[in-house]
Structure 1
Amino acid sequence: MSHSMHGSGGGELFPIPGDPYFAKIYWMFVGGAIGVGVLVHLGELLLYRQRLVDALISAASRALPEPARPKNFLVRWYATLTATAREAIYYTAPLIDAGRIPSSAGSRASWKKALPLNLPQLGCVLLIAANLSLLLSLVFYGWDVENRWNWEALAVHTGWITLAQLPLVFLLAGKRNLIGYATGTSYERLNWIHRWVARCMFITATIHLSYFLRTWAQYDYIERKFEIDIISRRGLCAWCVLLWIVLSSFAPIRGWRYELFVIQHVISFIAFVVMVRLHTPSNAHIYVWVPVAIFFLDRALRIIYMLYTNLAIFHPGRLGKPSRPFTCNATFHALSDKATKVVILDPPFGWRPGQHAFVSCHSLVPLQSHPFTITTLPSDNSLEFVIRTQKGGTGKLFDYACVLPVNKDKSKTVIIDGPYGQVRPLEQFDTVFLLAGGAGSTFIIPLLRDLVRLKRESKPMVTRKVRLVWVVRSSTQISWFAKEIADAMATLGRLDGLVLETSVYVTCGVLSALSSSSPSKNGLIDGEDSRAMYAEKAQGAAVEESELCGGDRCCCQEVLEDEDAIIEANKADGEKKQVCCCCSQSTVPHPKIPKTTTNTDLVGAQTQDSTSENSFAASLYLPPTHVFSGRPAIKALLNKELEKALGESAVVACGPAELIQKTRQVVVALSDERAVHKGTGAQGIYLHTESFSW
């Protein structure tokens, strides 16, 4: 049903377009928003090219010594607009955190940290609010909602607006995402918008249904209508399925059993599309068939990429055994702190640092596929993943690596879907601040290594300074990438033009004397060490809770406001201060360890006695860096680097949600305090964050 005239609130009549036209109006706005995203992406690409050209000119003649600084009026105006927009987009409301709740468990007082509520970025909130405002405006424009004779026509009108959103929901859902390719945005960042667009569609669908019910209720006709009208029954079924889709997509349910969620989610949307197709008139079916085409296009592209990547027939001569049907065969190695390294030699595809891939090993974890960050560079000729053990499939991978150490060289066939992910090239920024929390190092370390590679190969780059801060729960995690950090430090020690500074913060572990045996190179654990670690895992001896150390808080949770002051104080007095090791109460008494350990001379010192203060760090091949017991003061560390920056800086953070939230707040606060590109001379701050959650 369409309409040409509506009664206004004042009783006057005026012509407005029909229902299908309002659906087209919605797509005019959606297309405009996508177009803005495309223009922004193109602007970023042009800026990247311009900076690299300036870097080449600067290297040749020193005529442009600061390639990352805006130099003309147009670029300065763009930088100011960008800085203002970033402050609004990055801003998040402070965490709603109940703090630490006292508990009387055990003989000593302890504290249990309450779970925080992570609020979304203001940019995301504004985007969804704009979408919902547009939808409600299109729904109610020109209608007198107090006139009961308009209710049924308004319900039909709202149905068209609801249907118009379905193609956008599917466009934002795919892994091979067309909007993502056009705007330079990875699919996982669009997935959040996908969920909220679907929730907006549910709101308009509810309005559509409620006005029909309101009309029929006037005559006590609701039950009879559903009895005699199959179209109405199909519409009600479609609404019920959409309700289930919306409810099941919220984080607690989605994360409970993610594999089951994905299966039921696909089945539910198929049922929803079928019901919508049966419920709508033929002139509206374009909004059904387009989503179907988008869905199958995404699946076809993924299948084509997966077949090309994983079938050996497409890569003749690459593998030593031509009879092998699959290209990707992985070995599994146990790492310290319940992590597993998956190694695939001679991978059949390329990738960029910061990307991830879905890994399936059906012989160990049947019918499951999980995304993991790629920790190596294409130049390594090895595709590697460092996987932190959680419940489910990752635990099975770790168990296999632990209990079968003698078979660690026996490969297992794996299926790779990817790579996915988008990160702006970091070599276009003057200063790069890398912040990793625990397993977030799997994302951060490849970015660091790529910058070092570009410098080693004399490729054009703007970056002068890289600052790495890695926060770990246990010092055993340092072994995951200690060699990579050491190699990067050693490489830059022989080159000029790029400075690397690193700090490691241990929040819940002993900095020394943790192990009576040294892990092997690359942090791999072999033979008896692997079996011993598996036995420890089975006995539940892992560190889980922090205990108190002289007061109402754990010493390892202290925020260290001034790195330099701590380092200088330790150099001056040479004392080894006693701090809490934050171990569980069942562990041995706390040893005496220094507040900060300066590992300047540890490379090549692996022959030291394992009970000495620095033996554990030495056994991990730590580079010249500083290892602190506590938490970093992110704002102080970042502000120190921004004060020295001669152009735009990049802040890249990956880790737990609380770390990401804190980093966003710090970046917004510093951008506002420094009045970036607002006449003070302070340079811009680009922020890229990656979280563990979906």
Structure 2
Amino acid sequence: MNVRRYPLLLWSPTGTEIIASVGYTGLVVGLTMWSSSVDGNMRYLQPMGHAAFAQLPLVIGLAARNSVLSAVTGVSIHALKGLHRTAGRVCVITATVHSVGWLIKGFKPTWMFVTGLVAWIPLLLLFISFAPIRRAAYEVFIAFHILMIVATLVGCWLHAPSMYFKAWIIAGLGLWGLDRFVSLARVAINTVSNGKPEVEVLSSEAVRVTVPSRLKWKAGQHGYLRTATQTHPFTFASPTEAVFLIRAHAGFTRRLLTSTPKIGLDGPYGTPPDLNAYATTLLITGGTGVSYGLAQLASIITAARNHTSSAAQVRLVWNVRSASQIEWIAPLLNDALARGSAYVSVAVDVYVTRSHLSDEPGDRTETPGPSPPETPGNVTPRDGASTPVPGITPPPAALLNKSALISCATFGSVSIYSQACSTSLSLPKFTEVDLEKGEIEITSVASSCSGNTTLAGDLDNLDKCSVNFDRHPPFGSLAGRDIFGLSPAAALVTTLHRGRGDAETLLRADLASSDGGVAVAVCGPMSLDRDVRQAVLAVNRVSNALDDQPPVSFFSETFGM
């Protein structure tokens, strides 16, 4: 089976990280116990203390963004975070065995006992850094983590009986100092001094941040937005422009909705895969994880125009809460397709996952939208405009001029929300539009407005009635539609669906049309990551390989710490 996860060493909560953690813990504890045998007697208390000190450079060095080990091996720093947590656990275990063993022998108010407790107690508190805590209160977690590690290092330095032990502390501090120096140098060199970051509020829960920068990065890498006191990692949403899509949670990200702090950019970080080596790429994303997919999509299209890509087709799948959030990515998608997609067939499938949308009546599109037989070539979006999809009744031409207020939904219907009626009018068909009188004659009304059949009012008050695309989005192909800020070229390849995209169905559809290797890349919540992994395992069985199915490679970038 050719199933790969990227990064290889990161798996949470189960998988390779657990295997590596158990293996490393067993190796360190086993070797320590083996070395503790003296004249047939087990004297393990001192060796366990030695082992705890020996973990300090790993604990500190592997937590650094500019990791020496990452630079030497090419392994992502996110993969090394798993080893950082493993070394931390081993440090806690060995230090606890050492400390508890001496306390059992009897506490003595001596220098070694007191300084040992000063080092051990903060270390125990560091152990309480479970993933739910890290995600729920990231900024509090970071501040607490730093405070406890400083207290631990001070206690270890005072407790160390010789320079042999202090050398481990010095090595860890040296790696930390190198990381700080490189990070600050990157911020100073790569961030344009005369440019200011642009923060665009997309909704009550999301912003788009653009930072002027001299940085060069690869699609799939991430950078750290740095303020005077905080740093936060975000994935580049474009391979050429430092743009970040950020969902507001709390603290720094929530403050971006109301203010524009002075921001520096540190990076790039990460070692993303080169998806241009595959004939077919399936990018499955959720929420702001679409940043990863957008950058990879744009990179593949650019490489295809430069004849440096093996890609024949690429599909971006985005699971999102509401259809209107397409506006978040529209500028980036428009830019990616502004000059066409060369010989690469492009498809963008947006799945609206909010429950009341998924349950609405209508034709449910459970299969992925097909890629256009010929995506626009090296032309401008205006030249690549397509004709409307057959079977969809467009609204009257006069209403198209008022598309910001009233627009036709898929299957030729529209919902208008009237403040006067305090309800919604379901309009399956328009029969007459008289903009001079400000009247819209309709054939039927589903409302509590006493059976009125005319929505009347002057044009100045027409803005009281507007379409709510979150509740009645135009499911189906968006080709030929001026909607959500999409250019004609971007709308041509975009299809809107109800519900969550089924990863296995999507993958089987792309495998059936692929003439070579298939890459599946996922970025989003852990639940989405697990679903896609299971889909790859279900499709990429040995029997499938024997039937000459193209090989499938699996890459993953996950949310969280």
* Fold match by TM threshold 0.5: yes
Alignment-derived partner of residue 122 in structure 1:
15
Task: Give the Cα–Cα distance (whole angstroms) in 2 for the partners of residues 455 and 206 of structure 1.
Answer: 56
- Offset from partner CA, 1:8-56 (integer Å, 9 cap, x none): xxxxxxxxxxxxxxxxxxxxxxxxxxxxxxxxxxxxxxxxxxxxxxxxx
1:674: Cα distance to partner?
4.8
Q: Is 1:597–2:476 an aligned residue pair?
A: yes
2:236 to 374, 391, 397: 374
Q: Tell me if structure 1 keeps the 8 A contact 2:327–2:484.
A: no
**Do the aligned partners of residues 693 and 579 (structure 1) sit closer, same or farther apart at CA in structure 2, a change above 3 Å counting?**
farther
Q: Is 1:480–2:328 an aligned residue pair?
A: yes
- Offset from partner CA, 1:63-122 (integer Å, 9 cap, x none): xxxxxxxxxxxxxxxxx6xx3776997998xxxxxxxxxxxxxxxxxxxxxxxxxx5241
Alignment-derived partner of residue 158 in structure 1:
48
1:199 to 79, 89, 108: 89
How do residues 439-458 of structure 1 correspond to structure 2 at under 5 angstroms? 439-458=288-307
SS in 1 for 2:219: coil
Alignment-derived partner of residue 354 in structure 1:
220
Alignment-derived partner of residue 465 in structure 1:
313
**Do the aligned partners of residues 88 and 492 (structure 1) sit closer, same or farther apart at CA in structure 2, a change above 3 Å counting?**
closer
- Offset from partner CA, 1:503-549 (integer Å, 9 cap, x none): 111122xxxxxxxxxxxxxxxxxxxxxxxxxxxxxxxxxxxxx55x9
Q: Tell me if structure 2 keeps the 8 A contact 1:556–1:579.
A: no
Q: Tell me if structure 1 keeps the 8 A contact 2:3–2:536.
A: no
Q: Is 1:687–2:515 an aligned residue pair?
A: no
Could you tell me the TM-score, scaled by structure 2's length?
0.75
1:344 to 187, 204, 211: 211
Alignment-derived partner of residue 387 in structure 1:
246
Task: Give the Cα–Cα distance (whole angstroms) in 2 for the partners of residues 342 and 431 of structure 1.
Answer: 31
Alignment-derived partner of residue 271 in structure 2:
422
Alignment-derived partner of residue 501 in structure 1:
347
One-letter amino acid of the structure 1 residue matched with residue 519 of structure 2: A
1:135: Cα distance to partner?
1.9
SS in 1 for 2:101: helix
1:357: Cα distance to partner?
1.9
Q: Tell me if structure 1 keeps the 8 A contact 2:75–2:271.
A: yes
Q: Tell me if structure 2 keeps the 8 A contact 1:559–1:632.
A: no
Alignment-derived partner of residue 112 in structure 2:
231
1:272 to 135, 152, 171: 152
SS in 2 for 1:329: coil
Q: Is 1:213–2:103 an aligned residue pair?
A: yes
Q: Tell me if structure 2 keeps the 8 A contact 1:337–1:477.
A: no
1:576: Cα distance to partner?
3.8
Task: Give the Cα–Cα distance (whole angstroms) in 1 for the partners of residues 113 and 230 of structure 2.
Answer: 39
Q: Is 1:285–2:175 an aligned residue pair?
A: no
Q: In angstroms, what is the RMSD of aligned CA positions?
A: 3.7
- Offset from partner CA, 1:384-416 (integer Å, 9 cap, x none): 222222222222222248xxxxxxxxxx74222
One-letter amino acid of the structure 1 residue matched with residue 548 of structure 2: G
Alignment-derived partner of residue 176 in structure 1:
66
1:691: Cα distance to partner?
2.6
Moved more, 499-508 or 383-392: 383-392
One-letter amino acid of the structure 1 residue matched with residue 280 of structure 2: T
SS in 2 for 1:285: helix
SS in 2 for 1:255: helix
**Do the aligned partners of residues 328 and 682 (structure 1) sit closer, same or farther apart at CA in structure 2, a change above 3 Å counting?**
same
2:184 to 300, 303, 308: 303
Q: Tell me if structure 2 keeps the 8 A contact 1:91–1:121.
A: no
Gaps of 5+ in 1: 1-79, 93-118, 217-221, 313-325, 402-411, 509-545, 581-586, 607-614
Q: Tell me if structure 1 keeps the 8 A contact 2:331–2:486.
A: no
One-letter amino acid of the structure 2 residue matched with residue 258 of structure 1: Y
1:686: Cα distance to partner?
2.3
**Do the aligned partners of residues 468 and 632 (structure 1) sit closer, same or farther apart at CA in structure 2, a change above 3 Å counting?**
same
Q: Is 1:240–2:109 an aligned residue pair?
A: no
SS in 1 for 2:44: helix
One-letter amino acid of the structure 2 residue matched with residue 350 of structure 1: K
Task: Give the Cα–Cα distance (whole angstroms) in 2 for the partners of residues 126 and 199 of structure 1.
Answer: 14
1:177: Cα distance to partner?
0.9
Q: Tell me if structure 2 keeps the 8 A contact 1:489–1:500.
A: no
Count of residue pairs brought into register by the alignment:
477
**Do the aligned partners of residues 328 and 272 (structure 1) sit closer, same or farther apart at CA in structure 2, a change above 3 Å counting?**
farther
- Offset from partner CA, 1:138-185 (integer Å, 9 cap, x none): 13327679x9x945x211122222222222112211010112222323
Q: Is 1:661–2:507 an aligned residue pair?
A: no
Task: Give the Cα–Cα distance (whole angstroms) in 1 for the partners of residues 139 and 36 of structure 2.
Answer: 45
**Do the aligned partners of residues 640 and 618 (structure 1) sit closer, same or farther apart at CA in structure 2, a change above 3 Å counting?**
closer
1:438: Cα distance to partner?
2.0
One-letter amino acid of the structure 2 residue matched with residue 647 of structure 1: G
**Do the aligned partners of residues 129 and 194 (structure 1) sit closer, same or farther apart at CA in structure 2, a change above 3 Å counting?**
same
Q: Is 1:436–2:436 an aligned residue pair?
A: no
Task: Give the Cα–Cα distance (whole angstroms) in 2 for the partners of residues 576 and 238 of structure 1.
Answer: 68
1:618: Cα distance to partner?
6.7
SS in 2 for 1:481: helix
1:635: Cα distance to partner?
0.5
Q: Tell me if structure 2 keeps the 8 A contact 1:375–1:446.
A: yes
Q: Is 1:251–2:113 an aligned residue pair?
A: no
SS in 2 for 1:175: coil
1:337: Cα distance to partner?
5.9
1:474: Cα distance to partner?
0.8
Task: Give the Cα–Cα distance (whole angstroms) in 1 for the partners of residues 8 and 270 of structure 2.
Answer: 20
Could you tell me the TM-score, scaled by structure 1's length?
0.61
Q: Tell me if structure 1 keeps the 8 A contact 2:237–2:291.
A: yes
1:437: Cα distance to partner?
1.1
One-letter amino acid of the structure 2 residue matched with residue 202 of structure 1: V
SS in 1 for 2:243: strand
**Do the aligned partners of residues 623 and 266 (structure 1) sit closer, same or farther apart at CA in structure 2, a change above 3 Å counting?**
same
Moved more, 425-434 or 618-627: 618-627
Task: Give the Cα–Cα distance (whole angstroms) in 2 for the partners of residues 557 and 389 of structure 1.
Answer: 33
**Do the aligned partners of residues 464 and 616 (structure 1) sit closer, same or farther apart at CA in structure 2, a change above 3 Å counting?**
closer
Q: Tell me if structure 2 keeps the 8 A contact 1:492–1:500.
A: no
- Offset from partner CA, 1:467-508 (integer Å, 9 cap, x none): 111111111110122243345456445x33x22122111122
SS in 1 for 2:492: coil
